[in-house]
Structure 1
């Protein structure tokens, strides 16, 4: 039987992680890793440590779902990656345990809702672009993003629900064009986002 490792994260406004530690310890975690919200959500060294130490048959336990995921899409990607490695997941507040049939059902429901949300974003964006073209703007694959498209690209990128390639597909430009435009806007190099994991239904 595998081990249970806990992960806690103290967000802005919280005093400390004592409550999370107590709950995770009571749930059987023999070690708890804790990140504090002192910097970017992209930088979570303790999460990287616990993910590195988990082995097939182990269980990652969190106090609440938002301790692990920045968004529904990010949470689903994290859970899919754990599933591929043979690692189970538990969230104490939501009573989700992927080692049970009920927990697996909730996981796949979340995945379906995240995919549905992404499709809605794509539909709304395409509808807006069609309306813009109907007002006299040209479509196709322009070499540069218009001001409206750049605003849309930045919003979609910050929502973390689509890859840069998917944003480019929706806006009708290449992925490179999106990267260059975002770099020019911020004046810094835009980090490369990992390709999103495809959720495979259980047999």
Structure 2
């Protein structure tokens, strides 16, 4: 029985190593890493990604699939739900680093299955909603940066966070994670996280101005 860690990064600023470090720090003993680079979880379903496709061939009954959160599998509601349920039918256990969620097909009790399936649906919907919210913040931030560029050349202080850290903060805030938990996951200060939380568009705009 193997523990397979799947990671996906969609931008150059994100790293597979960061996601793996988070998993290992949470206590996971990883046997193998499968990763997709530069692939969007919104426009490309898991089965259409080069490495994501391999998961369907690699995983066997009794294996554990670890992901940072369900959004690494995808940000499309239907795709995430279908993927998790297919893996469960194969006897694979899916575990997330953030929130410590566990999905498996072991239970035969109808009520427990209903609760499990409802949680899967909620997590998949949250992944898609977070992606849409971040896209909106990105559009607003870029528009703000362009409007400021047209008026003045002052870019303000360089952000103390990377695009990957910004994305992680937004994702975890969307999951109602505690500030302390986000500090541990990102290495950012509480003050920085509060600033991002209170003005996501402005925080995205600062990143855009310093690209």
TM-score by length of 2: 0.46
Greater Rg by CA: 1
- Bigger helix share: 2
